[in-house]
């Protein structure tokens, strides 16, 4: 019986992630995407909405795989 190949056992590097933060305005519902900053958390305070000048909240934090060429 053989074990499945895991990246940590095979020497292959895991895929790199670029982490983004999605902020949403509670008034006009406009969403903006920006790079993740240390200290970001879901429901935390974001920046100011350019459209209606209301403080946005962080709605989502996620990572996208970096494509290797």
Spatial CA neighbour of 59 closest among 27, 25, 35: 25
Give the pair of three-digit tokens for residue 15: 């895929």
Identify any residues that bridge with 34 across adjacent strands, giving them in sequence order.
21
The stretch 43-50 carries a mean pLDDT of: 95
Q: What is the pLDDT of residue 67?
A: 77
Q: pTM for the whole thing?
A: 0.73
Partners of residue 29 on adjacent β-strands: none
């Amino acid at each position: 019986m053989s074990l499945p190949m895991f990246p940590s056992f095979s020497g292959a590097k895991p895929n790199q992630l670029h982490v983004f933060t999605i902020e949403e305005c509670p008034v006009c519902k406009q969403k903006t995407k920006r790079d993740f900053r240390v200290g970001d958390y879901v429901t935390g305070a974001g920046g100011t909405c350019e459209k209606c000048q209301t403080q946005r909240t962080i709605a989502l934090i996620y990572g996208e795989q970096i494509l290797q060429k």
